Structure 1
Amino acid sequence: MVGTGVDIVEISRIKQAAKKWSARFLKRIFTPNELAYANGKPLPYQHLAARFAAKEAVLKAIGDSTIHRIEWVHVEILNDEHGKPVVNLSGQAKKIKQEKNISDIIISMSHTRTYAVANAIMIKNGKS
Structure 2
Amino acid sequence: MIVGTGIDIVEISRFRLAKKKWGRNFIQKIFTEGEIEYSKKRRFQDQHFAARFAAKEAVLKAFGDKLSSIRNWQDIEVLNDKSGRPYIKFHRSAKELKAKEKIKDVVVSMAHCREHAVANAILISEDRKQKTEDR
Does TM, normalized by the shorter one, top 0.5?
A: yes
Shift of 1:68: 2.0
User: Paired residue for 1:108?
Assistant: 109
Indicate whether 1:33 and 2:34 are aligned: yes
For residues 17-55 of structure 1, give each alpha carbon's deviation from its aligned partner in whole angstroms, at most 9, with x where no partner exists.
Answer: 111101111111111110110000111000000000000
SS of 1:113 mapped into structure 2: coil
Q: Percent identity?
A: 49
Give the Cα separation in 1 of the matches to 2:47 and 2:33.
17
Note the aligned Cα RMSD (angstroms).
1.4
Give the Cα separation in 1 of the matches to 2:10 and 2:77.
17
Give the Cα separation in 2 of the matches to 1:60 and 1:84.
21
CA contact (8 A) 1:104 1:126 kept: no
User: Paired residue for 1:46?
Assistant: 47
Moved more, 99-108 or 118-127: 118-127
For residues 57-113 of structure 1, give each alpha carbon's deviation from its aligned partner in whole angstroms, at most 9, with x where no partner exists.
Answer: 00000111x312311100000100000000000010000000000000000000010
Indicate whether 1:73 and 2:74 are aligned: yes
Aligned residue runs from structure 1 range 1-128, under 5 A: 1-64=2-65, 66-70=66-70, 71-125=72-126
Q: Which runs of 5+ in 2 are unaligned?
A: 129-135
Q: Which runs of 5+ in 1 are unaligned?
A: none
Q: What TM-score does the superposition give when structure 1 sets the normalisation length?
A: 0.95
Q: What TM-score does the superposition give when structure 2 sets the normalisation length?
A: 0.90
Shift of 1:126: 7.5
